Amino acid sequence: MDNDDSYTSMLEAVQAFHDKHDFKNTGGEELAYRVALMTEELGEISACVTKGKNTEQLAEECADLLILLIGTAISADFDLRQAFCAKMKKIENRESRMINGRIRVSEFRDVE
């Protein structure tokens, strides 16, 4: 992949990777499997943070997760860029609250 950082270029690179390894016909696009892989990557990201690994290692694990996310959009046939934009629009006006000393932006539901 070249240095083009557009989503389209990333999508094309991940699609080419899926095609190269025939993910569609060999179980690589099965959604439950992909969720397991993403869970594994989150564990590796967590290990980087909790074990004080360097920024390069953390960046590599985050890139692995991004590749899996883009691949999941390919596997499930949805437009991740459009979903991202729609979600950002939805959350941009949400309120924030301090919870246990940390900022949280969420769709808060007050319990009566």
Give the model confidence (pLDDT) of 85-97 as tens digits: 999 999 999 999 9
Residues 39-59 have pLDDT tens digits of 999 999 999 999 998 999 999
Count other C-beta atoms under 10 Å from residue 47's C-beta: 14
Give 15-75 as a DSSP string: HHHHHHTTGGGTTTT-HHHHHHHHHHHHHHHHHHHHTT--HHHHHHHHHHHHHHHHHHHHH
Q: Which CATH number fits domain 7-83: 3.40.640.10, 3.40.50.2300, 3.30.10.20, 1.10.287.1080?
A: 1.10.287.1080
In this prediction, residue 48 carries a pLDDT of 94
* Per-residue confidence band for 12, with pLDDT thresholds at 50, 70 and 90: very high
Distance CA 47, CA 61 (A): 10
The token pair at 18 is: 């899926």
Averaged confidence pLDDT in the chain: 93
Domain ranges of the chain: 7-83
For residue 74, which of 27, 11, 5, 13 has the smallest C-alpha distance? 11
Give the amino acid at 75: S
Residue 9 makes CB contacts below 8 A (sequence gap 6+) with 1, 2
Of the given ranges (5-9, 14-18, 23-27, 47-51), which has the lowest mean pLDDT? Answer: 5-9
In this prediction, residue 1 carries a pLDDT of 58
* b/e sequence 3-18, b meaning 16+ C-beta within 10 Å: eeeeeeebbeebeebb
How far is C-alpha 20 from the chain's CA centre? 22
